[in-house]
Structures are given as structure tokens and as C-alpha cells.
Amino acid sequence: MILWPAGLSLAIVWQVFHDPAIDYRLVVAGAVLPDLVDGPAGGARFAHTLLFSVALLAVVMLATRGHRRARRRLLALPIGTFVHLLLDGMWTRAHGFWWPFLGGRLTGRLPALDHGVVVLVLEEVAGALVLAWWWRRFGLADRARRMAFLRTGRLPRDRVA
């Protein structure tokens, strides 16, 4: 429930954007946010809807008008929530994904828990493997690179090529 969205969101966003300046810490925060918000409620609720990610994107866009640098950094958060929806396969749960447009109530377990224990463990192992790839790919074993990444969320430019 943590390693799967964290690792895969990093890999997907890197593969799509190839941008070392994205704050990847916020991508991971966005990718785990829906489960953190909806988990205590007992299942897939508002944070697992398309409306939540779109509303978060709108808030970021409105709150950062005229602040290009802040906007660029904060856009990583809704990008992470959109990736979470993708990884959870929320589009297959039409009433939850399109809520409130298709009506109905927000019910159901968290998608990560719906697959069963074996799939959950396999997803977490896959997430751990992707995180290990990320660590090696961007040379985060080097203390200076790792500290810069943890401080800024940006990838080391010398490892991006």
C-alpha cells in the first residue's frame, strides 16, 4: 500500500516527463495521499475520485497564479494523485471514479486491499524493486546526491542523460 504507489509513481512520472526538475517527493506524496485520506474512512471514498484529483489540480493552479516556480513544484502533488488513480485501476469502478456525476454513494474497500493478500504482497515487492532501480539509476547511494534529492526533490542533473 506504500511501496507500490511510491515506486511506480516515480517510474511513471520519470518515463512520461523525463524532467529532473519535478519535485519527486511531492509526486510520491500525491501517490500515497488517496489511501491516507480514504483509509481511515474504511474504503475508497472522495480521494479516489477523479473529482478529487481535478479539484486538487485546480487549487494548485489558482493558488499559484503569478508564482511560476511554486506552481511548477506543487503540480507534482496532483500528478501523483492522478497516477494513484491509474495504479488502483479506478476507471474500472465507474461509480467511484466518476462520482458524483454517475450518482450513487462512495462505497467499497480500498482497491489495494481488494485484490487479496498475495497480489498486495506482489505489488509491494514490485514497488520495492522499482525503488531499488530508482536508487541505482540516479546514484542515490552517494550521500551528496541523496541529501540534495531529499532536500529539493530534484534529480541529480549529471545522472539524467
User: For residue 102, what pLDDT is reported?
Assistant: 85
**Spatial separation of the C-alpha atoms in residues 1 and 3, rounded to whole Å:** 6
User: Which residues are within 8 A (CB) of 19 and not within 5 positions of it... i.e. 6 or more apart?
Assistant: none
Q: What is the pLDDT of residues 132-150, one digit of tens each?
A: 999 999 999 999 999 999 9
Tallying the residues shown for the chain, one arrives at: 161
Say which amino acid occupies 133.
W
Provide the residue range defining the domain that includes 13.
3-159
- Residue 155 scores a pLDDT above 90: yes
Q: What is the pTM of this model?
A: 0.92
Q: How confident is the model at residue 109 (pLDDT cuts 50, 70, 90)?
A: confident
Q: How confident is the model at residue 42 (pLDDT cuts 50, 70, 90)?
A: confident
Q: How confident is the model at residue 50 (pLDDT cuts 50, 70, 90)?
A: very high
User: For residue 44, what pLDDT is reported?
Assistant: 86
In this structure, how many other beta carbons lie within 10 angstroms of the beta carbon of residue 110? 18
Say which amino acid occupies 19.
D
Helix H segments across the chain? 3-17, 24-38, 50-63, 68-74, 76-88, 94-97, 111-114, 117-137, 143-152
DSSP code for 154: P
Q: How many domains does the chain have?
A: 1
Q: Are 33 and 84 spatial neighbours (Cβ–Cβ below 8 Å)?
A: yes
